[in-house]
Amino acid sequence: MEEKHQTLKELPVSERPYEKCEKNGTAMLSDAELLAVILRSGTKDQTAIDLATKVLSIDPFYEGILGICHTSREELQKIPGIGKVKAMQILCIAELSKRLASAKVEDKISFHSPASIADYYMERMRHLSREEMILIFFNGKNKVIKELTVSVGTVNQTVASPRELFLEALRCEAVSVLMIHNHPSGDPTPSRQDILTTKRMKEAGEFLGIPLCDHIIIGDQTYLSFREEHMM
């Protein structure tokens, strides 16, 4: 005899995510229940909570909600019951979480403080599966003129030349430059290439009169500042 699948409506009221949320607030919901509220429905064979649980188990390296930030629409749509719309909803949740984390420190960011800079860019960059480099250009009052993504590299190496970077600095009439990039491994320890790139950037900046004020590497909830470590 085929086992009858229990739907959300057949669950006790106290276990239904919508009703539980309304009665007790969002903080009382589990990760799967929160996601189930967003997904709204499951399939004929599984509840929205069952479906949410599968989504939260999608990444073999990052458990739970953190895995959402490390997946793609194609991977999500491989889960039965997750179509294009639900996949986009999930990815939008991940993007919102990153922006919320950045927004909390946006008004407090100080470009004189490597820790403050790392806090601002942490959620945006620590989940990336490839290395990305961001250049920040400053004017004479140490105000940001422009932020530019100049390189998207392989899993463990960006490709950026001083010529490419300082051409943009000259166009912006910048008086100083800050480099930021991430390490997908989560370990911000600089590679030989990182050290070489920083050295070349520093020398080029000194020659052009547009100094490199720091190079910050973003890891997983940690960072490294070349300036703080006296490496430049």
The Cα 13–Cα 79 span in angstroms is 27
Cα separation of the two ends of the chain = 72
Structurally, what CATH architecture does the domain formed by 108-225 represent? Answer: 3-Layer(aba) Sandwich (3.40)
Provide the pLDDT for residue 159: 57
**Cα 147 to Cα 18, 30, 130, 174, 177, distances in angstroms:** 41, 37, 19, 11, 10
Per-residue pLDDT of the chain (232 residues), as tens digits, is 344 444 555 554 456 777 887 788 888 888 888 898 888 888 888 888 889 899 988 877 767 787 887 788 999 999 999 999 999 999 998 888 777 766 654 455 667 889 988 988 998 898 888 899 999 898 888 788 888 887 666 555 555 678 878 888 998 899 999 999 999 999 999 999 899 989 999 999 999 999 999 999 999 999 999 999 999 8
Tokens of 145: 């003129």
* Bridge partner list, 224: 217
Please, how many CA atoms are within 13 Å of residue 14, restricted to the half-sphere of its CB?
0
DSSP conformation letters of 179-223: EEEE-TTS--PPPHHHHHHHHHHHHHHHHHT--EEEEEEE-SS-E
DSSP conformation letters of 1-21: -PPPPPPGGGS-GGG-HHHHH
Please give the single-letter amino acid code of residue 66: L
